[in-house]
Structures are given as C-alpha cells and as structure tokens.
C-alpha cells in the first residue's frame, strides 16, 4: 500500500517563523497538484483514503499528480504557535501560500485543485476568492466539504464545548472511542476505518519516568481554542458578508459536499451556493452530519470523479 512522505515548509509569523508539516503523495514532479486542507481539530492524514484513490486513478489513466495534505499549524506534525492569536483563517491562508510557493519552486504547478473540509474550505474561500492572492496557478477545481459562507452559530457552540479539552488516554483505542463521542456526526464508519482516522489524531505524552505506562493525548495545541472562544455571534454574522463576497468572486469549478444532517452547513445556505458565485454542484450524503470524511466508497467516487475527469479522457 502506498504511503505519503513527510515534509516541512517554513512560514513567517509575528514571532518570527514556524514550520508547517505536509504529507506528499504521488509524483513529486507532477504539474497537477491537489491540495487537501483539513478541519479545525483534524490533521492531514484525514485524506489518506482520498489521496490513495486519486493516485490510483491517475496511474490507471497513465498520468500523474501530487496530492499535498498539510497539517495546519498547531496540529499534527506542525509547530505550535508562540502567539495563539495566529490561530485564525487569514494566517492559515498565508501559510498555504508559502506552501504552494515551495511546491512550485520544486516542480512548476500547471494545474491546481483544492479540497477543503470545514475550516479547510473556509481557507479555500479566502485563497480562491481574492484576485490579488499570489498563487502559482488559479485554482481550477474546488471541493468545499460541508462548509459555506454562512456557518450556523449553534454548530460553533457545539464545537466550542469540546475544543481544547484534550485529556489523556491509556491507549490509542481509548482515545478513538473518546473522539467518537464528539464525532459521531461524521456518519457510519467501521471500527477499522475509525481507528485509521484516529491514530494520527493522538501523540504520546512525554513522561520523564520511564517506568510509567505510556499515555496518549490529542495531537493539537489546546490554545487553538482561544481565538475560537473569543468569537461572538455578532462578529460571526458580520464576517459572513465578507465570506459571501469572496464566494461570489470564485471562478473555480466548485463541488459542494453536505451531510444531510449537518448542523454547520444548512440546506438553505447550500441551496444559495448553487445559485450564486461559482454555482456549486451540490452532492448530499444521507446519514451523515458535519462532516463527511471522504472515506466511504460513495463519497470517494464523487470527489475522485470530479477531480480526475480530465485525466480519464
């Protein structure tokens, strides 16, 4: 089974710089780059199933691509920020531009696609909706996974109730079970699927006592909760006008995924997204809330077919 390689890019911040990790799949010289950006408390290995499926489709078509899955700063293998105020969408977007510049310098990017789950989709709105963003190529195809310009305040309150409360666990399985308690809205998963998604979500707790049993904690910096908890309902609603403006400027061919039971992306918002801006194609998945993990066969087929249509011709 193919596996990704781990790389790092240096990104500037208010304290100097930090390293952002990213996982690279496929041909490192390919001109076709698919950038996959995860949700708020997640990390780049969330896209393992999608990356493998994309690489297999490209190989079957006799073509190639690079699938790049960053760990947004403060998550996974990336550094934690000295100043938690940097844990916000504009800073994340700047980091993605640093990453794309590095990738373009290593092998020129000819085609650029973006897959963004929840927070990763909001970062995509910022990057794709501004003409002055210094991209090596404009984004050709955009996948927004259960997110849009209007985000339901009740869902943000639900997320805020557990964000930053990492805790410690006796095993990876125990951590996976605990995460399922707050993530069952992702929809049906087999135990094996959920353990595969959960394993990169934990890190070993450093213990100076070598005789003590190994313990585990969640992978992300608890301080990402600080800017999130400081947001108000009024400020969130005011920010939606800007996000709609950005969405209306998007020229990329856009696919919108939605869990039918999503509490973050309403049916009304999704419908509006099909009628304005890039007029997204909407695909909904029954029995799923926020957010589809793009690991089941039906979800993978929709995304892979959308991104790889030109390779199959």
Domain boundary among 173, 192, 219: 219
Q: Which residue has the higher pLDDT, 164 or 51?
A: 51
What pLDDT score does 312 carry? 53
Highest mean pLDDT among 111-115, 214-218, 224-228: 111-115
- Average pLDDT over every residue of 118-130: 97
Q: How many CB atoms lie within 10 A of CB 5?
A: 9
Task: State whether 83 and 179 are in the same domain.
Answer: no
Residue 77 has pLDDT above 60, yes or no: yes
What pLDDT score does 182 carry? 83
Task: State whether 139 and 185 are in the same domain.
Answer: no
Task: State whether 95 and 156 are in the same domain.
Answer: yes
Question: What range defines the domain where residue 235 resides?
Answer: 5-164+224-312
Domain boundary among 219, 237, 256: 219
Task: State whether 137 and 281 are in the same domain.
Answer: yes
Task: State whether 144 and 99 are in the same domain.
Answer: yes
Residue 105 has pLDDT above 90, yes or no: yes
Give the C-alpha separation, 304 to 138, whole Å: 20
Q: Are 290 and 265 in contact (CB under 8 A)?
A: yes
Q: How many residues does the chain have?
A: 313
Q: How many folded domains does the chain comprise?
A: 2
Task: State whether 46 and 135 are in the same domain.
Answer: yes
Residue 116 has pLDDT above 70, yes or no: yes
The b-or-e profile of 172-211 (16+ CB within 10 A means b, else e) is beebbebbeeebebbbebeeeebebbbebbbeeeeeeeee
Least confident stretch, 157-166, 203-212, 232-241, 284-293: 203-212
CATH code assigned at 134: 3.40.50.1820
Taking only Cα atoms into account, the Rg of the chain, rounded to an integer number of angstroms, comes to: 19
Identify the CA nearest to 299 among candidates 112, 113, 49.
49
Task: State whether 102 and 159 are in the same domain.
Answer: yes
Task: State whether 70 and 187 are in the same domain.
Answer: no
What pLDDT score does 2 carry? 83
What pLDDT score does 309 carry? 86
Domain boundary among 219, 244, 259: 219
Task: State whether 285 and 298 are in the same domain.
Answer: yes
Q: Are 297 and 180 in contact (CB under 8 A)?
A: no
Task: State whether 36 and 176 are in the same domain.
Answer: no
Mean pLDDT of the chain, nearest integer: 93
What pLDDT score does 206 carry? 80
Give the C-alpha separation, 163 to 87, whole Å: 13
- Average pLDDT over every residue of 169-192: 91
Task: State whether 143 and 214 are in the same domain.
Answer: no
- Degrees to nearest 5, angle at CA 237 with 233 and 239: 115
Name the band, by pLDDT with cuts 50, 70 and 90, for residue 167: confident
Name the band, by pLDDT with cuts 50, 70 and 90, for residue 214: confident
Name the band, by pLDDT with cuts 50, 70 and 90, for residue 165: confident
Task: State whether 136 and 102 are in the same domain.
Answer: yes
pTM: 0.95
């Amino acid at each position: 089974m193919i596996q990704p390689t781990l790389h790092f890019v240096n990104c500037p911040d208010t304290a100097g710089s930090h390293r952002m990790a990213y996982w690279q799949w496929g041909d490192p010289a390919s001109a076709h780059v698919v950038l996959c950006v995860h949700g708020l408390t997640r990390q780049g290995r969330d896209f393992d199933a999608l990356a493998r499926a994309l690489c297999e489709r490209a190989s079957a078509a006799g073509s190639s691509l690079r699938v790049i899955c960053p760990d947004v700063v403060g998550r996974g293998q990336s550094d934690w920020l000295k100043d938690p105020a940097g844990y916000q969408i504009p800073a994340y977007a700047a980091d993605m531009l640093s990453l794309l510049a590095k990738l373009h310098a290593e092998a020129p990017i000819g085609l650029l696609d973006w897959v963004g789950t929840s927070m990763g989709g909001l970062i995509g709105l910022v990057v794709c909706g501004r003409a002055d963003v210094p991209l090596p190529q404009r984004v050709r195809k955009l996948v927004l996974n259960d997110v849009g310009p209007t985000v339901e305040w009740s869902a943000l309150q639900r997320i805020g109730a557990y964000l930053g409360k990492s805790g410690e666990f006796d095993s990876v399985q125990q951590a996976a079970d605990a995460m399922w308690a707050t993530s069952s809205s992702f929809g049906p998963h087999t135990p094996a699927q959920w353990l595969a998604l959960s394993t990169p979500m934990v890190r070993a707790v450093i213990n100076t006592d070598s005789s003590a049993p190994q313990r585990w904690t969640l992978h992300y910096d608890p301080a990402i909760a600080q800017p999130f908890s400081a947001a108000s309902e009024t400020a969130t609603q005011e920010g939606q006008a800007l996000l709609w403006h950005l969405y209306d400027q998007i020229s990329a061919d856009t696919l919108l995924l939605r869990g039918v039971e999503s509490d973050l992306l309403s049916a009304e918002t999704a419908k509006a997204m099909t009628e304005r801006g890039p007029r997204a194609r909407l695909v909904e998945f029954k029995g799923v809330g926020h957010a589809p993990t793009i690991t089941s066969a039906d979800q993978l087929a929709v995304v892979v077919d959308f991104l790889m249509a030109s390779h199959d011709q």
